[in-house]
Amino acid sequence: MGSSLTQCVDSGPIASLAMRLKVSAKTPLAPSRVSRSLARTFSLWRDPNHKRLRDAIDKIATNSGFSAELLSESLDALLLPFTAQSLESFAARVKIAPRVVGFVMPGNVAGAGIHEFAQALITGAGVLVKTASAEPSFFAEFAKTIAEVDPELAARVATIAFNRGQAEFTRALQDSCDELVVLGDDATVEMLERGGPVIGFGSRVSGALIAREALAPESIDALSDSVARDVTLFEQRGCLSPHHVFVEDETGAEAHRFAKHLALALERLARKLPPPAAIDIGATAAIRALRETSRWRKMAGAPVDLWESAGFAWTVIYDSAAPFKISPQYRTIHITPFADFADFTSRLETVRGQLEAFAIADPAEHLDEQRSWLRRAGVSYFAAPGMMQSPPLEWPHGNGAFLSRVLRIDE
């Protein structure tokens, strides 16, 4: 029925599940039919009282330590773009391609991979989802709702769980699927690539770019709240979470002012979306090291400032000299002013090719040069601040690797 998680104890179930999906996919459902069923499913999952969603949130909260409030808000942001209209529009443009698509899902962000999952189903594929041991719940619960909405569609979905160290299971997954999509860190993608061709979504980071006009007194609080939301959702652990905010500002005074506002906004949001009760020791140590470095640099007279919550709820670091900094996550963000285009690009050179998304606040629309550079540097999604976790259904994730190579969109 494809509505529950199969915990594999040997590799046999993988091949038989794949075979079942293959048989189902031979009589494909019309894309419009799939899109309607998915629209109904997504609509249920945007209802905060939907039982399957609540069950998923409870399980994910238990596994990850994230607060239920944070998860609820984060998942709602992720699912926001899956409207009946967007699904229908996509369905109208694809060709049916009956096959079995395997997915290896990541453990850091619940629901990551949902775009590719929905796209594959709409094209008539059967999908075999290998969930992460750190996050086995989202797709298992989502599949249950699909089964309740459309059992025939649910027959084209199976979720499985096994430890990624079990090489024979991974081999069975690769051998059984026509395509394998892998979302994870670069090491996971590289490991699976050794077993055959995969469509890999490896490690990526995101940022934000703010034009000076966006910092007008009447708009700075709203902007700060929006950036705080982007930083906070999913505890900053996904590829769409910003790590560093660059502010157009020659002197640094405006960027510093924004950093202060952002700290206040993060504090406000932490009351609404509580941080985890405990975070892993490595991340805590890394955040502490970052705070200590900033504190001592500031004491030494460097153009650095630090705002920090009591405990480790959030951290804002203003650093006028910093190149793009990778955050230790958990609502830790750097703010840096940039004087001009050359200054901006020089600060991002180290992450060129590893960027996924950028939030841009540019009311006067004069940062086109920066936007073009970011696109060339690999950015696949530009968002308004506050919308970074809501990329559209046809987001060319990872520079469109899945869209262009697998879906064969009828352009």
Q: Which residues bind another protein (CB under 8 A)?
A: 106-109, 112, 132, 134, 183-188, 201-205, 236-239, 241, 280-286, 288-289, 292-293, 295-297, 299-300, 302, 311-312, 321, 323, 326-329, 350-351, 354, 356
Task: State in angstroms the smallest separation of the CB of 201 from another protein.
Answer: 5
CB of 114 to another protein, least distance (A): 13
What is the rounded distance in angstroms from the CA atom of residue 223 to the CA atom of residue 215?
8
- Give 13 or 276: the residue with its C-beta nearer to another protein: 276
Q: How far is the CB of 10 from another protein (least distance, A)?
A: 25
CB 173 within 8 A of CB 14: yes
Kindly state the smallest distance separating residue 113's Cβ from another protein, in Å.
9
**Triad 154, 160, 165: Cα angle to 5°:** 160
Q: Which of 87, 58, 81 is CA-nearest to residue 71? A: 58
Rounded to whole angstroms, how far apart are CA atoms 298 and 356? Answer: 31
Closest distance to another protein from the beta carbon of 363 (Å): 29
Query: Judged by CB, which is closer to another protein: 229, or 347?
Result: 347
Residue with Cβ nearer another protein (278 or 364): 278
Residue 383 β-bridge partners? 359
- Closest approach, Cβ 265 to another protein, in A, equals 22
The distance of closest approach from Cβ of residue 322 to another protein in the complex, given in angstroms and rounded to an integer, is 9
Using the structure block, give the residue that is written with the tokens 């705070």: 291
Give least dist CB 305 to another protein, A.
14
- Long-range CB contacts for residues 75-80, cutoff 8 Å, separation at least 24: 75/45, 75/110, 75/111, 75/138, 76/46, 76/48, 77/233, 77/387, 77/389, 77/390, 78/111, 78/114, 78/389, 78/390, 79/42, 79/45, 79/46, 79/111, 79/114, 80/46, 80/390
Is the Cβ of residue 98 or residue 202 nearer to another protein in the bound state? 202
Alpha carbon of residue 364 to chain centroid: 28
By beta-carbon proximity to another protein, the closer residue of 185 and 340 is 185
Nearest CB to another protein, comparing residues 30 and 289: 289
Token pair for residue 210?
């703010």
Residue (6 or 284) nearer to another protein, CB: 284
Q: Answer whether 149's CB lies under 8 Å from 37's CB.
A: yes
Closer residue to another protein in complex, CB, 258/314: 314
H-type helices in 80-113, by residue range?
84-91
Question: In angstroms, rounded to a whole number, what is the distance separating the alpha carbons of residues 398 and 200?
Answer: 8
**Closest CB to another protein among residues 224, 294:** 294
Nearest to 133 by CA among 54, 64, 201, 194: 64
Quote the least distance from Cβ 30 to another protein, whole Å.
31
